[in-house]
Structure 1
Amino acid sequence: MKRVHRTIRKAILQVIDLFYPPFRKVMTVQMFRYAACGGGNTVLNILVYYIAYNFVLEKQVLDLGFIAFTPHIAAFLIAFCITFPIGFYLSMFVVFQGSYLKRRVQLWRYFLVAMACVVLNYVLLKVFVEILGMYPTPSLMATTGIVVLFSYLSQRHFSFRSQAQG
């Protein structure tokens, strides 16, 4: 399993780092890797959201009996369940490799930051879709821009803190 992990990690780093040189003067390799991994995971999130909203849920309320979710919120939760573990893997093994924190601490902190991002996304989706009347998929895309800076700074300085950061 470790061999598979190392092969995957190496392949991801080779592909990402191939595109880094033109950005060398404007950002660190860590920032670039975060942008690439986060961007890829965000695109996956939007794709899963779109498929869940339009084809899985068919724009219908998801009623679990004890709680009901509007289709745009249910699609958001489905996408989150898929992209959360992928995002953690990429953050831990590709972007923030120098952390001295134990993996369970990293996972817990990553989860806390992710939950803060979920709350922010939830509130913004509610505002954009239900108050402003925007379409759900563009609403999700708009919320993403707002959450990215918060997420990067939180993950860098909290979830995956390194010795250099103190």
Structure 2
Amino acid sequence: MRKALLKLIDFFYPPFSSWMSLHTFRYIASGGTTAATGIVVFYLAYHLVLHEQNVYIGSLLITAHSAALFIESIITFLIGFILNKYIVFTKSNLKGRIQLFRYGSVVLTNILLNYAFIKLLVEAFSFYPTVAKIIITAILALLSYFSQKHFSFKVKS
């Protein structure tokens, strides 16, 4: 499966080879897949699962866009870790459990930033939730790349 995915990603690399390294291209392809999956899952969770309705757990109110973000985060965490570990950052010599913990730390930070920014954009600036999610994803993608490269999947000398 890994070889097939690498062949597919690498097939589209030649036109971009003068602009970026293969490693960066693989990250963009993997991250783009994870991000696109996240946006689709967020949309489906918000509209089809939650029917744009807030969730009440006892007296606790969870807004529909926050609940959709939670659902999306669980799914994209798994997809993102697998793609980063086996497609992008294959040269990392850290143990898998350390990679998973560090990846989880970065993802948790991104979820908190996602939550704060989605609250801000949707509730303070009246953005449509899916549009807000797309904007936030684009901003956090760059931060994630450097965090994953230099922290989660670091190559020890």
> How many percent of aligned residue pairs carry the same amino acid?
45
- Summarize deviations over 1:20-79 as a string: whole Å, max 9, x none: 111111111111001001001111110010010001000111122263310001001101
Q: Does 1:152 align with 2:145?
A: yes
- Pairs within 5 Å for 1:1-166: 8-65=1-58, 67-163=60-156, 166=157
Secondary structure at 1:98 match in 2:
coil
Q: Which runs of 4+ in 1 moved over 6 A?
A: none
Give the gaps of 5 or more residues in structure 1. Answer: 1-7
Give how far 1:85 is off.
0.6
Which letter does structure 1 place at the counterpart of 2:39?
Answer: I
Secondary structure at 1:59 match in 2:
coil
Secondary structure at 1:68 match in 2:
strand
Secondary structure at 1:161 match in 2:
coil
Give how far 1:83 is off.
1.1
Secondary structure at 1:63 match in 2:
strand
Secondary structure at 1:134 match in 2:
coil
Give the gaps of 5 or more residues in structure 2. Answer: none
TM-score, structure 1 normalization: 0.92
Distance 2:154 2:53 in 1: 42
CA-atom RMSD in angstroms: 1.0
Give how far 1:145 is off.
1.2
Aligned length: 157
